[in-house]
Amino acid sequence: MGLFRRITRRMTTGSTECARVGAVVQRYLDGEYEDDPSWIEDHLDECEACGLESETLQRIKDAIARQGGPDSITRARLQEFAERIADGGIGSLDDVAR
């Protein structure tokens, strides 16, 4: 199962609102969500776990786009970090520093 799918699956195991956001967050981050995104933005601002996960995914996407793709060391580090997110190893801002 892809990492993003595992992360969004994790997002959908929270509240009903987390599940709604998890179902559309990829389209939202890609700029492909066609409806009013204000409810998504409100939830990401209010829910620390969903906000952190979506922010992390966006930063990874942005970094990869800027560089045309990561080198092998960076790719391995990103893979490890994404695995931690997907497995629930990062649940708050304090966990990111680990």
> What amino acid is encoded at 1 in this protein?
M
**For residue range 7-48, what is the model confidence (pLDDT) as tens digits?**
555 554 567 888 888 888 888 988 999 999 999 999 999 998
State the pLDDT at residue 45: 93
Lowest mean pLDDT among 14-18, 21-25, 74-78, 84-88: 84-88
Cα 69 to Cα 72: distance, rounded to the nearest angstrom:
9
pLDDT of 12: 47
Q: Is the model more confident about 18 or about 97? A: 18
**pTM greater than 0.85:** no
Domain ranges of the chain: 3-96
The predicted pLDDT at position 76 comes to: 84
